Structure 1
Amino acid sequence: MFHLPYKKLSHWQQMVFASALLERMLPHYAMFARASDFGDAHLLRNQLNLVWQKLDSKQSPKINVEAQLLKLEEHIPSPEDYDMYAAYPALDAAMALLALLQAVNDKDANVAETISRLSQASVTGYVELDLSQQAQAGDTILQSQIKAHPLSEWEKAIQNELFDLVKDTDTQQVIEQAKSLVLEEGLSSLGFEID
C-alpha cells in the first residue's frame, strides 16, 4: 500500500478525489451484478452521480444521506455467498460508495484515504489472484511482484496524478478534469473495459 498526504486536502477536494476513484471501481460492481443477478448497479451509479452533483456548486442537490445509505445497504454483496471472485471487488466498490455517502455530511471524514485504500485493496487482491494463477505449484508471491505488476503501478500512478490535480485547486473545473483523468482510457482499476 502507498500513502498520500490526504489530510492536506479540503473536504471538497477529498470528495472529488474519492468520487473519481469510485468511477474506476463501480464497473466491478456492475459486472458482478450482471453475473450474479444480485444488486442494482443503476442505484449505485445514480448515487455516485448525486454526489458529483452535490460537489458541483451550480447544482448542489440536497441528499437524504440516511435514505441513500439504507437503499445501498440492501445491495452490498457478501462474498462468502458467491462462488466467484467478482464479489470481492464489488464489495470494495459498494463499501467505497458507503463511505463516500457517509462523508457527504461528515466534514471530518478522511474519505480520500478510505477510498484510496479500498481501491488499492481491490487491485492488490486481483493482482494476487492473477499472479497465483500464473505461478507454479509451491511458488510464493512476493510483495515486490505485486508492486511491479502493471495494474499496481497504474493504480499508484492514477492516484498520484489525481491527488496532484485536486490538491492545487478548489475550482469547479477540477470535477470534469478528475472524471476525464480516470475515465480517459476506458478501463476500470482492474483493467476491464468500462461499459
Structure 2
Amino acid sequence: MNKKLNIFQQVRELEGWAAIAFSATLLERMLPNYNLFCEVTEFADPAQYRKTLNSIWEWLAVPKAKINFSAQLEKIEELVPDASNFDNYGVYPAIDVAMSMSATILLIQGEDPQGAVVVSKLSQGGVEAFIEASSGEPLESQEIKQHPLMQWEIETQQELLLLLKEYPKGAETCKKLKALATAEGMSNIGIEI
C-alpha cells in the first residue's frame, strides 16, 4: 500500500506539462482496452480516441499548437459506453479510458488540476479490477499487489515519474514517453497492442 500512496502523492505534486505528459503516457497504455471493446461490441469507431490522444501528444510536443480541446472533449464524451448496456467485462476498462481522456483534457484546460491523479488511480484501479475479475474469486489486497500485472503497473508509473524529473519538456521527451508506454506491446491489463 505504501508504494501506491507514494505514487499518488508524487503524481499529485506534478504540475503543468509534466502532469499532462504523465496522463498521456498512461492513456497510451490504456487505449488498446477501448479499441478492443469497440471492436468486439461494435459500440463505436475508436478512431476519435486515437485522434484526441494524438492531439494531446501534439500539444505536449508543440505547446503553441492550436487545438480546440473543448471540441475534442465533446467528441469523446459522445463515445462513452454505458455499462448498463453491455454484459461483457470490457466495458469497464473502456469507461476508464474515457474518464482518463476527459480528465486529461480538463487538466490541459486548467479545470481539473488533479487530472493526473485521476488517470493514475483509474489505471491502477482498472488493473486491480481486471485481476479480480479474471481470478474468478475474491483476492486479498496482498495477492493483488503481488500479481505481475499490478507490479508492472506500479513499476511503469514509478519509471514514468523518474523520466519526467530527468527529461526536459518537449518533442524528444514525448517520443521517449510513447516508447515507454508501448515497449511491452501490451495495454495496462495485458491486452496485446
**Structure 1 residues 24-72: Cα deviation after superposition (integer angstroms, max 9, x where no partner):** 1000000000111112210000000001000112x74212122111111
State which of 97, 102, 112 in structure 2 corresponds to 1:98. 102
Kept in 1: contact 2:93–2:126 (CA 8 A): yes
- Answering whether residue 163 of structure 2 is matched by residue 165 of structure 1, we say yes
Amino acid at match of 2:191: F
State which of 112, 121, 128 in structure 2 corresponds to 1:117. 121
**Structure 1 residues 7-34: Cα deviation after superposition (integer angstroms, max 9, x where no partner):** 3323100111110000010000000001
Structure 2 gaps of 5+ residues are none
Amino acid at match of 1:12: W
CA distance in 2 between partners of 1:6 and 1:50 (Å) = 22
Counterpart of 1:161 in 2: which secondary structure?
A: helix
TM-score normalised to structure 2 length: 0.91
The residue aligned with 1:36 is 41
**Larger Rg, first or second structure (1 or 2):** 1
The residue aligned with 1:177 is 176
Distance of aligned partners of 1:6 and 1:72 in 2 relative to their CA distance in 1, 3 Å threshold: same
Amino acid at match of 2:13: K
Identical columns (%): 36
What is the root-mean-square deviation in Å for CA atoms of aligned residues? 1.6
Amino acid at match of 2:67: I
Which ranges of 4 or more aligned residues in structure 1 deviate by more than 6 Å? none
**Structure 1 residues 71-91: Cα deviation after superposition (integer angstroms, max 9, x where no partner):** 111100111210100000000
Higher helix share: 2
Distance of aligned partners of 1:78 and 1:103 in 2 relative to their CA distance in 1, 3 Å threshold: same
Structure 1 gaps of 5+ residues are none
Kept in 2: contact 1:22–1:93 (CA 8 A): yes
State which of 47, 51, 67 in structure 1 corresponds to 2:56. 51
